[in-house]
Amino acid sequence: MRLLHTMLRVSNLEESLKFYCDVLNMKLLRQKDYPEGKFTLAFVGYGDESDHTVLELTHNWDVDEYNLGDAYGHIAIGVDDIYATCEAMTALGGRVTRQPGPMKHGSTVIAFLEDPNGYKVELIQRS
């Protein structure tokens, strides 16, 4: 078994693709409209779906806003230089909501961004 993807519902697909592809440097792997169901699926990630876990961005055409709830946590991405990564992402329009630094009660260096829909993205400094 292998984890294939995580699905996020997004209110503005173009805004979300700009964030995930331009700011987080993911690639748009595939996208398809489903007119009868009034939705579009876009898959983004850092590698081919055959051997990488990816994100499925689901845009329901008639929905402008979602209630994210309080059970969902975040997506985590490992980076080599968290300080330079946060600077670059901010320059590209990314919104850093927690600046890089050690996590509470630990030594792992983390930072958080927020995507256009309010989903949290954790950056983790790789050793």
What are the pLDDT digits (tens) for 80-108? 999 999 999 999 999 999 999 999 999 99
Give the ranges where 5-127 is alpha helix by DSSP (H): 13-17, 82-91
Percent of the chain clearing pLDDT 90 (strictly above): 91
pLDDT for the residue 61: 97
Band of pLDDT at residue 1, cut at 50, 70 and 90: confident
- Is domain 75-125 annotated with CATH 3.40.50.620? no
Report the distance separating Cα 79 and Cα 83, nearest Å: 10
Q: Which superfamily, per CATH, for 5-60?
A: 2,3-Dihydroxybiphenyl 1,2-Dioxygenase, domain 1 (3.10.180.10)
Q: What confidence tier does 70 reach under pLDDT thresholds 50, 70, 90?
A: confident
Contact 29, 48 (CB under 8 A): yes
pLDDT at position 43 is 98
Q: How confident is the model at residue 69 (pLDDT cuts 50, 70, 90)?
A: confident
Task: Tell me: pLDDT of 49 over 90.
Answer: yes
| Active site members | 122
Encoded amino acid at 81, one letter: D
Q: What is the pLDDT of residue 124?
A: 97
pTM value is 0.90
